[in-house]
Structure formats: C-alpha cells, structure tokens
Structure 1
Amino acid sequence: MVSLLTLPSIHHAWPGSSTQLGLYRHGQFRRSIAFVVRSEHLPSTSASPCKEDGPGRRQLLAVGVTVAPWLFMSQQAATFAAETKKGFLPVTDKKDGYTFLYPFGWQEVVVEGQDKVFKDVIEPLESVSVNIIPTTKQDIRDFGPPQEVGETLIQKVLASPTQKTKLIEATEHDVEGKSYYTFEFIAKAPNYTRHALSTVCIGNGRFYTVTTGANERRWEKMKDRLKTVVDSFQIFNV
C-alpha cells in the first residue's frame, strides 16, 4: 500500500459545499488575436534575387523575426481550439502549466485551497476543481500503481473523513511522455452520494489533481461530459 508519509498532503474540500461557493468571476475569457501578414506589405526581392544582403532581404528577415513568435502562439491557440468539443470551454493556465475543458454554463468560483474551480450553480455537486502542490517526485508512478494510489487518495484526501468511499476503477494512460492516473469513485454522505472522477499527474515539480463529479442521481446523464473534462486535462512545461 502507498504510505501516507510519501503522498502529498492535499486536503480537498468539495467545491459543491454551500459554505465554499466563494465569489464568482464573470467574463474572464481571453480572445485570441489573429496576426496576418499580407504579401503586398512585404518588400519585394524579385528585382535583385542574387543580392542576399540587400535592403529587401534584411527587411524581410526583420519582419520574420518579429512575426515568428506571434505565428507560433497563434498556431498553439488554433491547435487547442480545434480540440475543443461542442458544449465545452477551454482553460489554459500558462503560469501553472495545465489545460482542460469544462461544460459551457458552469461558473468560475473561488474556493480556498483550490487553484481553479468551475461549477454548476443549480446542481452544486457538479463541478471541476484543480489542486496543485509542490513535490520532489518526478513521476506519478513513483507513488505506486493506480489502484493503491487511488484508494489512498480517495480515503484520505479526495473525500471527507465522514463520507463512505468506494473506488470503482483506477486506470493509467500516457500523454506525450507524462503518466496520468484516473480514478472513478463514489463518496457517500448522510444526505447525498457524489459520483466522481479524478486525474492526478506530476510535472514542473508539482502534483496536479483535477476532480469532477455529480450527484449519483444525475450520473448517467452527466458521465460523458465529466469524462470529457478529466480526459482533456493535460500539463505542459513551464
């Protein structure tokens, strides 16, 4: 079994709790900027093709140096936008190095101890939260196999001590050389049961946890959307 002494200490409070709704952040979406260079704006070099050091070539190189970073960023944004599914909105945190999708209509809220939280204001158990803590580990597999890590995290971290938990499935997958563990589990409280999914991974000297879920009574309706959320979560180097 995985020792609690080696696992990160990340107390995870459910964002669905009415005491942790926090303050809403409205309209915080960035618009991508399309940068287009028209051919007629570039200096012509056809008149002196052999003069590689001529003014036209130097000006073209200067423009290229200026434009290249913008084109690169635009290509990255376009690639991610192309992967966005209908009915979802993308999140990219360039500071902490992660991206994911969340269902359209969910609102961003502030929850103490969480890096980012989005939730449905009508169904409070339907939410997604991201938690990040420092770690010296290099790979999630350093903590053990998915089943053992999942059982320990769910019992000690991802659910309240008063809830009865059950791990349904634990899987592993790789994305661009990074290992991810995904868990499906149930957390039963006296007045409700939450069916949840969580994905954990390590990178940038950090332990990332993204968790989403819904009330058990709405699981069949929501499960495909919730799986899209956790499957979309990826980290990148910063």
Structure 2
Amino acid sequence: MAVSSLSLNWVSTTLSKKLNVAYPNELTRSATAFSCQNFFTCPEDISSDEENKSKRRLLLMGAGLLSANLLPASPLFAQEIPKNYDAFVDRIDGYSYVYPSDWTEFEFTGHDSGFKDRYLQLQNVRVRFIPTDKKDVHDLGPMEEVVSNLARHVYAAPNQVADILDMQEKSVDGKNYYTFEYILTSPNYSSASIATIAIANGRYYTLIVGANERRWKRVRNKLKVVADSFRILDI
C-alpha cells in the first residue's frame, strides 16, 4: 500500500498510486491527462483492466492519505527540496526524485512515472525499472563500459550517434548510482539528456531527464538537479 508519512500539506492527490510532495502550505495539484502529441502513445479506448487499475490506485491513495496523519515525519526528503521544484515519492516501487514545479504529470509508454514541461514536451523526466538478479549497479561492470554501452547501444536509435559528455558515480545511504550526460544526434534532430541508474529491491532503475539539444545550455543545470535527486527507497 502506498502510505505517505509526510504531512498532508505535502501530499498531491494524483490519479496514480504515487505521491507528489510539494512545499508546505502549497495547494495540492491534481494530475493532468497525458499528452497525445508527437511520440507519446495514446490508446484510443481505455480497457476494463485499465479502469480497474485506476480504481485500485485511487483506493490506495485514499488509504495512504488517511494513514498520513498517524505516522511520524518522513526521512525521505530530509534534505531541503530546491526552490521551484516538487518531490515525487513512490513508496510502492521504491524511488523518489524532484522535478520542476511547473511541469505536469504524463504517461510515457513503458515507464512508471513521468513529468514534462507544459509547453515543451520534449523537456521531460521519466522513470522505469525492470527486474534483475543483480544486487548493485557495480555488478553491471565498470562505469565507463556500462555508460558507453547504454548511450551507444541501448538509448541510441540505429540512425543516431551518441556523444557522452560526462559521467559520475556516487553513493548515498549505502546505494550506488551512475549518472551520465549524453547527446543523441540524428540527421534531423538532436536531444541531450542526463541519466541516473541504480539497482536495489531486485530492480534495475533508470531515470532520464532531457531536452532538445538546442535548448540544452539554457536548461542543463535545471535538469541536472532532477537527475542528481534520484534516490532508491527500501521496499
């Protein structure tokens, strides 16, 4: 069950089983409908299975809100949330991150959560995870080899060239993370992104935040905050 131990003033009631955490005294914000523009996949009809999932998520959220008053303050965001950012906490799937407070929630095919700029949808963050029998990101191999393989052979399409700009390793609360910045260039378009990967809870987590390469210099530092904020929670 998704249960928030944060103050109710910090809970955003979305139509999912996740928790959005805003600054104290801010009004909670409802989730927006996902975008059907460009490369986002939009089903024409909502299946009964999807309807049942939505109902279940609402029930889980309601239970979480009722329980929130009964629990002590959460240590999930002991660090200060940066100004003009909100926090997203998924207690069920075990991760959290911050995102620009003027971004809206959206559905990205194959991903567990995502937020995008209201006007520039290619400026977005999304998180996904897959099962793994590995215990730590170090089990994937040396950072340089892992990052090179991901950027050039996993994230890049056949017609794209990947350029890796930077890579960093860090450890937070006993969990290890690889974070790397890269540009994907195709004949007609280029995008720049920062990815953070980690392994825990029997899952291989990936957060990617990115934008059009032409805007990268203007938004890079803003989006780096998102990538650096990614944390894995014990579940």
Work out which structure has the larger RCO, using CA pairs closer than 8 Å and 6 or more positions apart in sequence.
1
In structure 1, how many angstroms separate the alpha carbons of the residues matched to 2:153 and 2:186? Answer: 15
Would the aligned equivalents of 2:136 and 2:176 in 1 still touch at CA under 8 Å?
A: yes
TM-score normalized with structure 1 length: 0.70
TM-fit CA distance, 1:212 = 0.6
Match of 1:216 in 2: 213
- 1:125-161, Cα deviation, whole Å (9 max, x unpaired): 2110101000000011111111110010112222322
Q: Are positions 1:90 and 2:110 aligned together?
A: no
Q: Are positions 1:101 and 2:121 aligned together?
A: no
Q: CA RMSD in A?
A: 2.7
Would the aligned equivalents of 2:179 and 2:194 in 1 still touch at CA under 8 Å?
A: yes
| Partner-residue secondary structure (3-state), 1:18 | coil
In structure 1, how many angstroms separate the alpha carbons of the residues matched to 2:188 and 2:126? Answer: 22
Distance 1:166 1:16, change over 3 A: farther
TM-fit CA distance, 1:32 = 7.2
TM-score normalized with structure 2 length: 0.71
Match of 2:4 in 1: none
* Pairing partner for 1:76 from 74, 77, 92: 74
Taking the TM superposition and a 5 Å limit, the aligned residue runs for 1:198-237 are 198-237=195-234
Match of 1:167 in 2: 164
Percent of pairs with identical residues: 39
Taking the TM superposition and a 5 Å limit, the aligned residue runs for 1:42-57 are none
Would the aligned equivalents of 2:116 and 2:125 in 1 still touch at CA under 8 Å?
A: yes
In structure 2, how many angstroms separate the alpha carbons of the residues matched to 1:19 and 1:217? Answer: 19
* Pairing partner for 2:38 from 18, 21, 34: 18
* Pairing partner for 1:185 from 155, 179, 182: 182
TM-fit CA distance, 1:97 = 0.4
Would the aligned equivalents of 2:177 and 2:197 in 1 still touch at CA under 8 Å?
A: yes
| Partner-residue secondary structure (3-state), 2:77 | helix
In structure 1, how many angstroms separate the alpha carbons of the residues matched to 2:85 and 2:145? Answer: 32
Match of 1:118 in 2: 115
Would the aligned equivalents of 1:22 and 1:109 in 2 still touch at CA under 8 Å?
A: no
In structure 2, how many angstroms separate the alpha carbons of the residues matched to 1:82 and 1:175? Answer: 12
- 1:92-129, Cα deviation, whole Å (9 max, x unpaired): 01110000001122121112211111111422221101
> Number of matched residues?
184
Taking the TM superposition and a 5 Å limit, the aligned residue runs for 1:1-40 are 18-20=38-40, 22=42, 35=69
Would the aligned equivalents of 1:16 and 1:124 in 2 still touch at CA under 8 Å?
A: no
Would the aligned equivalents of 1:131 and 1:209 in 2 still touch at CA under 8 Å?
A: yes
Distance 1:128 1:105, change over 3 A: same
Structure 1 stretches lacking a partner, 5+ long: 1-14, 36-69
Which structure has the bigger radius of gyration?
Answer: 1
